[in-house]
Structure 1
Amino acid sequence: MLKLDGIAAFVSVADSGSISEAARRLHLSKSVVSERLAEVERALGSRLLHRTTRKVSLTEDGAAFLERASRIVREVADATADMAERRGTLTGPLRVSAPVTFGRMHLGPALYPFLAQHPQLELTLDLDDRRVDAAADSYDAVVRHGALDDSRLVAWQLAPSRRVLVASPAYLARHGTPASTDALQQHRGLFYMNRGVADWRFQGPAGAVVVRAPVALRVNNGDMLRDAAVAGLGIALLPTFIAGEAIRSGALRAIDLGMQPAAEAVYVAHPEGRRSSAKLRAFVQCLREAFGDPPYWDA
């Protein structure tokens, strides 16, 4: 007969790729995790994992069983959390992916009081600038900046996101301040690396305008892009949640071309078909209240 603790052990090993790591996550010994795995395999009459001294990998049967097993574990965790909510308590794991710079600058300060208020909540915040697959990578939710381009996600907006062209006063003193998109093409560009595209896109009265400029730097991190602009290496298009403080201090100046970049937002999204839990709704509400409307970084 299958037992829930055995299914949970299997899911944890499959997710982590290691019995040792699964044991650490479950607060169990490796021998207990191994025995629970063996019980599941005996109950199913099938081998679910290939085990070597270096790694653990799924068999074909294991891969087939994992999707439903993960759903079972998640549903039980959600049901437990819902019962705790009835008692006014948020409890259990919550796994979220978020961009590095936004997470460091804004998520952390917003979430520290929230976590202190809910000590039974187990938040895993994975900071990564790549676009993860929330469902395939077993995230409860993802925090993203930009346009929602995945129809498999259900999203809540946390805050609008304005972007501005910026450069250092020293760079503008040397090269002049562009007043049009044509003039902008003569400047050195600092670009966020996104699928190899190095351009800026604006919305004008006549429609969309795409501007390409000589590339001084491509990088997939907003902190470095801002710092390169502060260092006078060129012009960057940055969200105000990254550039705002540098603009207020005078380290960067905003450049007005008479047109705006396409509207974007910061949002939280969860996989379609997965019910939003009480702890996820509380997470979203915490961030909305902390960021404000308009968000504090646009003050």
Structure 2
Amino acid sequence: MLKLDGIASFVAVAEGGSISEAARRQRLSKSVVSERLAELERALGATLLRRTTRKLAFTEHGSAFLARARRILREVEDATADVAEGRGELTGPLRISAPVTFGRMHLGPALYPFLQRYPDIALTLDLDDRRVDAAADGYDAVVRHGAIEDSRLVAWKLAASRRHLVASPAYLERCGTPASAADLAGHRCIFYANRGVGDWRFRDRDGVVVLRGRVGLLVNNGDVMRDAALAGVGLAMLPTFIVGEALRTGALIALDLGFEPENEFLYIAHPEGRRPSAKLKAFADCLRAAFGDPPYWEPA
């Protein structure tokens, strides 16, 4: 007979990458986790993991069982949450992925009141700039900025967002101020790696215009992009929630090429086909209230 604690330990090992990390996450000893895995394999009659001195590797049976094991745990968690919600309570795990810079600057402070209001919710916040697969990686939802590229996600808008093409005064003094799209060819540009060099989207009366400059730096983090622009490396396209303070102090200058940067928004998205829980809806409502409309980082 399969035991739920064995399935939970197997998933924890898969997500943690080792028995030691799984034991730390589950607050158990390594021997207990190892015994649960052994018992699960005996119950299934199959080897799920191959253990070496350096790492664990999934067998074919282990890879196939992992997806179902995650679904089993999700169903149990959802059923427990449904019972609690029926009593008017919000409880249980909530796993969210968000980009690093926005998470550090704005998401963290916004969620503290949520955790105080709902002390029985166990929130896991993974800050990662890569585009995670919400369903496959076991997230209840992802917080993202920009266009929605994954059609398997259902998005809720959190806040509007404006972007600015910026450079430092020192860079402009040294290299000149671009005044048109054609001028970009003579300037070094800083691009967000996860969105590529075709990310500079502007709007005019005829629709969307995509501008491209010469790559000077390609990086997957907003903090580094802002700091590189401040250091005079080149031009960067960044949202107000990252560069608002630098624009107010004059440390960065917003450039005008004759086009308005296309407006975007911050959103929270959950996997399609999965009913969003009451605690996820409460989390989204808390973020909207904290950010405001228009959001507090945009100038009046």
Q: TM-score, normalized by length of structure 1?
A: 0.91
Q: How many residues are aligned here?
A: 299
> Which residue of 1 is the match for residue 84 of structure 2?
84
> Which residue of 1 is the match for residue 225 of structure 2?
225
> Which residue of 2 is the match for residue 13 of structure 1?
13
Question: What is the root-mean-square deviation of aligned Cα atoms in Å?
Answer: 2.1
**How far, CA to CA, are the matches of 1:77 and 1:101 in structure 2?**
30
Superposed counterparts of 1:132-281, under 5 Å: 132-194=132-194, 197=197, 200-281=200-281
> Which residue of 2 is the match for residue 42 of structure 1?
42
1:21-64 Cα deviation digits (max 9, x unpaired): 22222222222222222222222222222223333222211222
Q: Which shows bigger deviation, 37-46 or 98-107?
A: 37-46
Gaps of 5+ in 2: none
Q: Secondary structure at the match of 1:296?
A: coil
Q: Secondary structure at the match of 2:297?
A: helix
Q: Which shows bigger deviation, 200-209 or 71-80?
A: 200-209
* Cα 1:25–1:245 shift into 2, 3 Å: same
- Is the Cα contact below 8 Å between 2:16 and 2:22 reproduced in 1? yes
Q: Which shows bigger deviation, 122-131 or 88-97?
A: 88-97
Amino acid at match of 1:177: T
Q: TM-score, normalized by length of structure 2?
A: 0.90
Amino acid at match of 1:168: S
**How far, CA to CA, are the matches of 1:155 and 1:147 in structure 2?**
10
**How far, CA to CA, are the matches of 1:134 and 1:208 in structure 2?**
29
> Which residue of 1 is the match for residue 57 of structure 2?
57
1:87 Cα deviation (Å)? 4.0
1:88 Cα deviation (Å)? 4.2
- Is the Cα contact below 8 Å between 2:98 and 2:127 reproduced in 1? yes
**How far, CA to CA, are the matches of 1:125 and 1:10 in structure 2?**
21
1:175 Cα deviation (Å)? 4.1
* Cα 1:70–1:194 shift into 2, 3 Å: closer
- Is the Cα contact below 8 Å between 2:101 and 2:242 reproduced in 1? yes
**How far, CA to CA, are the matches of 1:288 and 1:159 in structure 2?**
7
1:238 Cα deviation (Å)? 0.9
Amino acid at match of 1:22: A
Gaps of 5+ in 1: none
1:151 Cα deviation (Å)? 0.8
> Which residue of 2 is the match for residue 121 of structure 1?
121
1:54-108 Cα deviation digits (max 9, x unpaired): 3322221122222122111111112212323344443322222111111111111
1:241 Cα deviation (Å)? 1.0
Amino acid at match of 1:61: H
1:295 Cα deviation (Å)? 0.9
- Is the Cα contact below 8 Å between 2:184 and 2:214 reproduced in 1? no
1:123 Cα deviation (Å)? 1.8
- Identity, % of aligned positions: 73
- Is the Cα contact below 8 Å between 1:103 and 1:127 reproduced in 2? yes
> Which residue of 2 is the match for residue 283 of structure 1?
283
- Is the Cα contact below 8 Å between 1:199 and 1:213 reproduced in 2? no
* Cα 1:233–1:57 shift into 2, 3 Å: closer
> Which residue of 2 is the match for residue 75 of structure 1?
75
